[in-house]
Chains A and B, each alone.
Chain A
Amino acid sequence: MTLPVLICDDSSLARKQLARILPAEWDIELHFAEHGLEALERIREGKGALLFLDLNMPVMDGYETLEAIRKEDLNTLVLVVSGDVQPEAKARVMKLGALDFIRKPTDVDTITLVLGRYGFFSASDAKQDAASGEQRGLNIEVSQRDMYQEVANVAMGRAGELLAKALNVFVELPIPTVNQIAASELHMVLSALDNATSVSAVTQGFTGDGIHGEAMVIFNDASFHDMGRLLGNDLKDKRYELEALMDVSNLLTGACLQGLGEQLYVRFNQAHPVILGRQVEVKQLLAQAKNRWEQVLAIEIGYRLEGFAIEFDLLLLFPGSSLPLLEQQLQHLLEGSE
């Protein structure tokens, strides 16, 4: 019997990647949804006996979708496929009734293993005549922006995992914002990030395989008190604010670049961080910067720590000159390695 399978993810890249690696011999009818609300509709129409569900999505996220499925007692089994890989995220979705939790980016082996574990598919019961099955997901168009967003999503998830581990908190992960802007607009991006009157920021250059970029961590100064406490820094010591800023930027930047590097098959070198400003207004951060490039790709990720008054933003910036190489690497990701 043909199984109706639904992939729910806001990223076209993620939908395409997952569709491509589902076993070709598996007798299914594949449907897609871009957010939870759409997924619920498909399930009610009988188009999702098995649901691959992303967590961070607009309109209705994965947690809300799981809750709705339980409330309505919908007939579907859910495998969560998430870039948010904090242990707490997994614990929460399992509690909400998910069957299993799969880390992004996933691969053929993992998917086959999980499908086998729950008896959805095993290589031995593949139908002989379906073996030449057409490759799935070929007709999914992936925009450049979607590609950057999904790569950032996975990288951001890694950073969140590390941060959660280091601080023993749950990190609320947003949907990364991707903008290709003129360099002169960069200060507008920064102002939009944070309207806090006072911020502190560090920036760190990185490079790998000809791709150059900068990772900027911008900290709302009001967050320092809680942050210092979390990190175990001595609050009486005047230096703790800089320590907190550096600790967070080390963790975020390191994990994010590692996540990014793994997906792009690039090992990045990192320069030492440089302080952009302390206790300054956002617009002052770039006062010294010269607009040497015309265009810049900016990926903004705003982190919040659950239960704390802590907010900070990670900004990944790539100058226009790095974009052709970056896009070339991303193309590999889209085409897969087989």
Chain B
Amino acid sequence: MSDFSPEEINELHLKLGILGAIDVGIVVIDRAFEISMWNDFMANHSGKRPSQVRGRSLFEVAPEIEPDWFRRKAERAFELASRSFIIWEQRPYLFRFPQYRPVTGTSPFMYQNVTLLPLHDTRGRVERLGIIVYDVTDTAESARQVKKAAQSTPPQWKEF
């Protein structure tokens, strides 16, 4: 710790504060799919504290993730060091979380868009992957409602 100046520690504290408070899920896994970071968003929505998930397999912590499918995506991101996106139309969610608005929300779960972000270490190798989780429930719900409305509209009105 003595390697850091008080300013640097302050700066770090500030950054960690923002990472904690930001309303986006941040998970970091290694090549063995073990979790090394789990931010407040993830902890609060899953009810699992960072200390409970750190060092454990992602598939054990989140059994709703289909391992074969996710491994393929993640391994490609690792191998090619290329950012990759998963949208709610593909899979409504990666992590099954309850919907953010428990009273007025219409969906039982949180729709998610996910970014897989290859993370380079100091030697430029990609040994970790950031999983960034965005809540897109409102977008997904309204898109579904528009689609539903379009399907129930009499054909002669479809032009409008």
Q: Is the CB of A166 within 8 A of B89?
A: no
Chain B, range 128-149, C-beta contacts under 8 Å to A: 134
Q: Is the CB of A275 within 8 A of B84?
A: no
Q: Is the CB of A273 within 8 A of B85?
A: yes
Q: Name 27 A/B residue pairs within 8 A (Cβ), A-sorted.
A: A162-B82, A165-B80, A166-B79, A232-B72, A242-B89, A242-B90, A243-B90, A246-B90, A247-B73, A250-B82, A250-B83, A251-B82, A251-B84, A254-B83, A254-B84, A255-B82, A258-B82, A270-B83, A270-B85, A272-B85, A272-B113, A272-B115, A272-B134, A273-B85, A274-B87, A275-B87, A275-B89
Residues of chain A at interface, number, CB under 8 A: 20
As a 0/1 sequence over residues 70 to 98 of chain B, the CB contacts with chain A under 8 angstroms (1 = contact) are: 00110010011011111101110000000
Q: Is the CB of A273 within 8 A of B80?
A: no
Those 3 A-B pairs whose CB atoms lie nearest each other, nearest first: A250-B84, A254-B82, A272-B113
Chain A, range 221-251, C-beta contacts under 8 Å to B: 232, 239, 242-243, 246-247, 250-251
Specify which chain A residues have a CB less than 8 angstroms from the CB of B115 in the assembled complex.
272
Specify which chain B residues have a CB less than 8 angstroms from the CB of A165 in the assembled complex.
79-80
Residues of chain B at interface, number, CB under 8 A: 17
As a 0/1 sequence over residues 48 to 90 of chain B, the CB contacts with chain A under 8 angstroms (1 = contact) are: 0000000000000000000000001100100110111111011
Q: Is the CB of B80 within 8 A of A246?
A: no
Specify which chain B residues have a CB less than 8 angstroms from the CB of A274 in the assembled complex.
87
Q: Is the CB of B87 within 8 A of A273?
A: yes
Chain A, range 269-283, C-beta contacts under 8 Å to B: 270, 272-275
Specify which chain B residues have a CB less than 8 angstroms from the CB of A273 in the assembled complex.
85, 87
Nearest to B118 among chain A residues (CB) is: A254
A162, A254, A255, A270: most-surrounded residue (chain B CB, <10 A) = A254
| With A232-B72, A272-B113, A272-B134 as contacts: A162 and B80 at CB distance below 8 Å | yes
Chain A, range 150-171, C-beta contacts under 8 Å to B: 162, 165-166
Nearest to A165 among chain B residues (CB) is: B80
Q: Is the CB of B86 within 8 A of A246?
A: yes
CA of A247 to CA of B76, assembled, Å = 10
CA of A246 to CA of B84, assembled, Å = 9
How close is A168's CB to chain B, nearest CB, in angstroms?
Answer: 12
Specify which chain B residues have a CB less than 8 angstroms from the CB of A275 in the assembled complex.
87, 89
Given contacts A250-B83, A272-B113, A272-B115, 5 further A-B contacts (CB under 8 A): A162-B82, A239-B90, A250-B85, A258-B82, A272-B85
Specify which chain B residues have a CB less than 8 angstroms from the CB of A258 in the assembled complex.
82
Nearest to B136 among chain A residues (CB) is: A272
Specify which chain B residues have a CB less than 8 angstroms from the CB of A272 in the assembled complex.
85, 87, 113, 115, 134
Specify which chain B residues have a CB less than 8 angstroms from the CB of A242 in the assembled complex.
89-90
Q: Is the CB of B76 within 8 A of A166?
A: yes
Specify which chain B residues have a CB less than 8 angstroms from the CB of A255 in the assembled complex.
82
Specify which chain A residues have a CB less than 8 angstroms from the CB of B113 in the assembled complex.
272
CA of A239 to CA of B83, assembled, Å = 21
Specify which chain A residues have a CB less than 8 angstroms from the CB of B85 in the assembled complex.
204, 246, 250, 270, 272-273
Nearest to A271 among chain B residues (CB) is: B85
Q: Which of A232, A243, A251 contacts B80 (CB 8 A)?
A: A251
